Each structure stands twice: as C-alpha cells, then as structure tokens.
Amino acid sequence: MPISFFAVVMGLCGLTLAWTKGEHVLGLPFVSPMLAALVAAVFLTLAALFLVKLVRHADAVRDELHHPIKLSFFPTLSISMLLFAVVVLELAPRLSHGLWLVGAGLHLGFTLYVLGAWINHEHFQIQHMNPSWFIPVVGNIIVPVAGVAHGYTEISWFFFSIGLLFWLVLKAVVFYRLIFHPPLPGKLTPTLFILIAPPAVGFISYLKLTGSLDPFARILYYAGLFLTLLLLTQARRFARLQFFLSWWAYSFPLAAITIATMALYERLHTPALMALSWGLLGLLCVVIAGLSWRTLLAVRRREICVAD
C-alpha cells in the first residue's frame, strides 16, 4: 500500500471539481454529487488501508518517510483532504470546514517535516530530484481554494505565499536536473505533469484571494497553459511508458489547468477559451477513464502493491 496511492484521490477530486465547474460554465449534466460520492468511497478505502499499514507495519511507513522520493508523496494525504473539502464545499459546508482545518494543519506539518529533512539530509542526490518534490511545499497553494470560502483569508495568504515562493525555487532546480543530468527513469517520467499544477492552481487560488483578473493572474494561467502544451507535445514519449501508479500524476494537473481555463472563460467569454475548455475537459475524462481501467487491471493482476 504505497503512500502514492492517494494521488488517485487527487485525480478523482480534480475530475469532480472540473465537472462541477463545467456544470456552471458549460452547462454539463448535473452529476457532480455522484462523483463526490465516488471520491469519498475511494478516499475512505485508501485511508483505512493505510491506517492498517501504519498499525501493522509501522517500520514500512518509517522507511517511506526516510526515502528520498517516497517522502514527497506523504502530503498527497493532506492534499486529498483539502481537495475533498472543496468538493463538498456546497454539498456539506460543515464537513468541508472540518476537512479543511485538518488538511491545512496536516499539510503545514508535512511541509515543515519535509523541508527539515531536505535541509538536514545526508543522503539526497540531484538524481533523486523530480517534480514530485513540488507536492510537499508547493501543495500549500491549494489551501486558499476552500480557505477563503470558510473565512480564513489571512491564513490562506500565508499558505499561498509559501507555495508560490517554493514553486519558483524548486522549478529552477527541477529544470537544472532535467537539462544537465540523465533523463528521469520511466517510473518517474509521468511526474513531469506536476509542473502544470503550481501555476494552474496558483491562478485559481489567486482569483479566490483577490477576485480580480489582473496581470499577475494572467501570468500564472498562461504559464500553466504553456507547460501543458509543452508536455502534450511529448505525448508519444509518455504513451510508450510501462504502467505504474505514478501515471496518476497525469490526472490532477490536467484537471487544474482545465478548471483554470473554465474560470478564465467565465470572465472573458471568448470562443477560443470555450473551445479550449471543452477540449481539456474531454481529454481529462479520457485520461481518468484510462487510468482507472489500467489501475483496476493492475490490481487484479497483483502488479500494484509490490516491492520496488
């Protein structure tokens, strides 16, 4: 039961939020409550399994906490809680509030722990660096999406500032790793899609915080759109990869840029943005369906929860 399994919840939350936005902006059928129920079932199942692992195999969890790559996936748990808080924001406000409080506090704890591990490390190498390192610290940029709605504006700015600062720092290190060192191994190559998430989610959070489409908001959105185009030009390379659970790294970043595009279309109402919204949403649905099928197939074949 790898901690990275919670990336599935992130992807399904992203799909639910994208579809919910599409219901308001594009006139999609009203099925978001059913998608929310599916996300809840998956999240509770994975949380229960990981709790069993924590109780019965604490040493394995401790090993993951000290692993230079797996360490970065622990905050997928807190991010899943924060995203689900957004999913149920209108359906169950009190549940959303509770999930946000726990998720934000847990994510701050993960951020401090991971940054401390990076600063005081004795075994990290540049080869360990990959875009999944964005998850612990840049994941803070998600907090304002529900935080502003619950009245925590200043706290949301605090988390947004952390995420934005470390996005700029880590992005430089990631590109140094990609350009001047050997390519990422196949299992980690899908994490390149994580590059899309910080500017795309940053755009959504910034709109929540300021309520205005100013030049900085546009910079965030178009940076995310460019990275999306860059990675889509590499589609043939990604298609040749062997399936790993890391393929779920495709899902949430695609959902983030889809939601950001619909949010921009909602304000500008240009035909190009409407067409792009439909195209990205269609791509997201196809990707999530494919990932779900491949994951269930891999579970049936016992190819998922195996030793590295």
What is the mean predicted confidence (pLDDT) over 198-217?
96
pLDDT at 3 over 90: no
CA 11 to centroid of chain Cα atoms:
7
pLDDT at 65 over 90: no
pLDDT at 35 over 70: yes
240: left (phi over 0), alpha (psi -120 to 50) or beta: alpha
Give pLDDT, residue 231: 94
pLDDT at 93 over 80: yes
What is the mean predicted confidence (pLDDT) over 245-264?
94
pLDDT at 308 over 70: no
Residue-by-residue DSSP string for 167-234 = HHHHHHHHHHHHHHSPPPPTTTGGGGGGGGHHHHHHHHHHHHHH-S--HHHHHHHHHHHHHHHHHHTT
pTM here?
0.94
Assigned fold of 3-300? Glycosyltransferase (1.50.10)
d(CA 98, CA 147): 11
What Rg do the C-alpha atoms of the chain give, in angstroms?
Answer: 18
Contact criterion met (CB below 8 Å) for 15 and 255: yes
pLDDT at 79 over 80: yes
The string over 30-41, giving b where at least 16 C-beta atoms fall within 10 Å of a residue's C-beta and e elsewhere, is: eebeebbeebbe
Write the pLDDT tens digit of every residue in 119-167.
Answer: 887 777 888 888 988 899 889 999 999 999 999 999 999 999 999 999 9
pLDDT at 203 over 70: yes
Q: How far apart are the first and last CA of the chain?
A: 12
Torsion sign, CA atoms 256, 260, 263, 269: negative
Helices and strands, number each (H, E), in the chain: 13, 0
Query: What is the percent of the chain with per-residue pLDDT over 90, rounded to a whole number?
Result: 73
Write the pLDDT tens digit of every residue in 37-48.
Answer: 999 999 999 999
pLDDT-derived band at 186 (thresholds 50, 70, 90) equals confident
Give pLDDT, residue 152: 96
pLDDT at 282 over 90: yes
